[in-house]
Amino acid sequence: MLDSRPVRTLLALLLLPALSGCVKKGTHQRALDEIAQARIDQQALQVEMRERLAEADADRRAAAEERRVAEERLRADLAAVRDSLETMTERRAEAEARFEEARTEVYRLEVLQRDRGAEFQRLQQRLQSLAAIEREVRQRNAIYEEVIGRFQSLIDAGRLSVAIDRGRMVIQLPQDILFESGSATLGSDGRSTLAEVAEVLADIDDRSFQVEGHTDDVPIATARFPSNWELSTARALSVVRLLVDRGVNPMTLSGAGYGEFRPVADNGDAQGRRQNRRIEIVMLPNLDVIAAAQLPAGG
């Protein structure tokens, strides 16, 4: 704050002559000196005021410059922050997109893995089924070879034949050596032949056999056999009973009659009719293996 005392002193000295009228010479000189000093003080004060104003203006300019620089720096920092924020936002969006892509890919791979796992299981089950079928075929062929060997004398004598029909081993016995025409009672030759057959079948484990009766198409109409159905069935059951009597497990045997409806030859001549009159002992396939092989691919 500027000192106002020199100004007040100068004003008092200027007004003094008017107030007092006349003064002494020494007093007047002192007044003049004080006036001169006041002028000097005033000039010094003005210089000081101008210097202070210049300093204040310089300070103001410096402060304004500092403010401008600070504002520019702040704007630059703000722009940098905005750029950084935009970059971070873009990177976050990119990261989220990549994450979504990765999650989709992981899901796809999981589905693929499950599908391939299921396919592997199906293939493994199929291979196991095929292996079981292969074992079944090998076992059947081994039995077939054994039966052929043990029945060779009967085969050579024309008393039976052995064949594979639709994957089944079939022992075929002509009706002529088993039964009289129109009869379901076994003859002595038939009983002798079936006794040898029973001896072989009794040694075959884990297999079931169906005895099937077949006739020619010559009609029969008796009280006991109204048709060839009854005759063929009765003959099949007669064979079953004899096989059981000779040691074959009854739980492995069944009987069926097909009459004239499954011929193997033409019934138009005597030779064909003789071939159609027959008993077949069929070794049934392993049903467990067949069921496993026919399972759907899905298990």
| Number of residues assigned to the chain | 299
pLDDT for 18 equals 53
Output the average pLDDT for the chain: 86
Among the ranges given (9-23, 42-56, 126-140, 210-224), the one the predictor scored with the smallest mean pLDDT:
9-23
Which residues are within 8 A (CB) of 121 and not within 5 positions of it... i.e. 6 or more apart?
A: 299
Residue pair 109/116 in contact by the 8 Å Cβ criterion: no
Tell me what the mean pLDDT of segment 133-143 comes to. Answer: 84
Q: Is the pLDDT of residue 64 over 60?
A: yes
Q: Over range 270-291, report the average pLDDT.
A: 86
> In CATH, what number does 151-293 get?
3.30.1330.60
What percent of the chain has pLDDT above 70?
A: 88
The pLDDT score that the predictor gives to residue 298 is 47
pLDDT above 60 for 90: yes
pLDDT tens for 211-245 read: 999 999 999 999 999 999 999 999 999 999 999 99
Neighbours of 284 (CB within 10 A): 14
Q: Give the integer Cα–Cα distance in Å for 299 and 297.
A: 5
Range list of β-strands (E), the chain: 161-165, 168-174, 209-214, 253-257, 278-283
Q: Which token pair is 253?
A: 């045997």
Which residue from 172, 181, 198, 279 is spatially nearest to 232, judged by alpha carbons? 279
* Segments making up each domain of the chain, as ranges: 5-75, 151-293
Dihedral of alpha carbons 137, 139, 143, 149, sign: positive
The structure tokens listed for 265 are 């030859």
Stated pTM of the model: 0.59
- Lookup result for tokens 């089924």: 129
3-state secondary structure 21-67: CCCCHHHHHHHHHHHHHHHHHHHHHHHHHHHHHHHHHHHHHHHHHHH
Give the model's pLDDT for residue 115: 87
